[in-house]
Amino acid sequence: MITTMKDSEQVKKLILLSYKNWAYAQSLLHYIFTIFQSTQSNCDMEHYNKKYNKKKERSKVFFFYLTNYYYIFTMKIRKEVIMSKKLEMEKSKHFYMRITGDYALWADPATKGGGERISYQVPTAQAIQGICDAVYFKPTIRNVVDAIKVVNPVRFHSMGYRALYGDLSAGLNYVTVLENVEYLVQYHFEWNLYRQDLSRDRIMKKHETITERSLRKGGRRDVFLGAREFLGYVEQITEQEYLTEKTFYYGSDFDLGNMFHSFIYSCDETEPLKSLFTHTIMRDGIIQFKPQEECEITNILSSYTIKAHKGVVSVDEELKEYGEGGESV
């Protein structure tokens, strides 16, 4: 039982340890409160009276201290929790870019089995997210595509290519691709809440600045329009350019049917990879991508396994694994 001012320092340490855990801190302090309320009412504790001559004075002082400490820390913890939740829900400002290329292959999964792939009429959310990641990506953030604007008319083009089979023999396959494509993209990024070990890197202004600089440079990595053979080019544009750019499909609505949306990559090794499909409509040449939670069709890919994340190791910790001269310990 906590009975002295010396014990109060231990209480302070416990509260400090539970500083970022609101539920634990609250239950701990309620428990201490209960103990002291019973201590105040139970004045016939013989071992307590024998050990401390000024029991009432000590109890009153510590009870007063704990009461004030309780309210100060609950208010402080509440504020920290509110700020933490606000930080987790925070998202960046919108970024705008133009994607162009001679050819693009947004392959329909239904056509992949036979080797002769046929492109969707428009890119998928997963494909555009991959291009956003090629512009700038870190595990701290997660790029989210809001909408794309299809500028040029959809034109298909068939081409043949030499394919190698499993027995190293060659054959001629055909793919149906899009030609002379141009898209305007609006996207933003959010914090990757699965990587709490990178919470110190959640500096909004820093990542926004790097994203804008990467857009001006045309991206950090090569941009592919659905396949390695079809290179794309990225250009930063302003919000005004995005809103005022004319599209070939302005004034028309096109029902594109059920299209592949994106993958759900689970952080749990026991959870399989899932692919999402959704009903897609292009209005005035603009496609507003739904969040993954609103996709109507979910397909489970049971043959896929993920590699477990082992966390980030600091330089000092990694150095301990090696002896002097670079030899392993």
The full set of domain ranges for the chain reads: 5-88, 91-246
**Per-residue pLDDT tens over the stretch 113-124:** 767 889 999 999
pLDDT level of residue 169 (50, 70, 90 thresholds): confident
Exposed, middle or buried: residue 122 (CB in 10 Å: 0-12, 13-18, 19+)?
buried
Contacts of 40 (CB under 8 A, 6+ apart): 59, 63
> 260-278 burial, b if ≥16 CB within 10 A, otherwise e?
bbbbbeeeeeeeebbbbbb
CATH of domain 91-246: 3.30.70.2660
Report the C-alpha gap between 39 and 42 in whole angstroms: 5
Q: What percentage of residues in the chain have a pLDDT greater than 70?
A: 66
Q: What is the pLDDT of residue 6?
A: 46
**Per-residue pLDDT tens over the stretch 206-222:** 999 999 999 999 999 99
What single-letter amino acid sits at 192?
N
Per the prediction, the chain carries an average pLDDT of: 78
**Two tokens, residue 181:** 């494509």
Average pLDDT in the 15-29 region?
Answer: 54
Better-scored residue on pLDDT, 242 or 268 = 242
Instruction: Count H helices and E strands in the chain, helices first.
Output: 8, 9
Q: What is the pLDDT of residue 314?
A: 72
pLDDT level of residue 45 (50, 70, 90 thresholds): very low
Residue 265 in this model has a pLDDT that exceeds 90: no
Contact by Cβ (8 Å): 234, 223:
yes
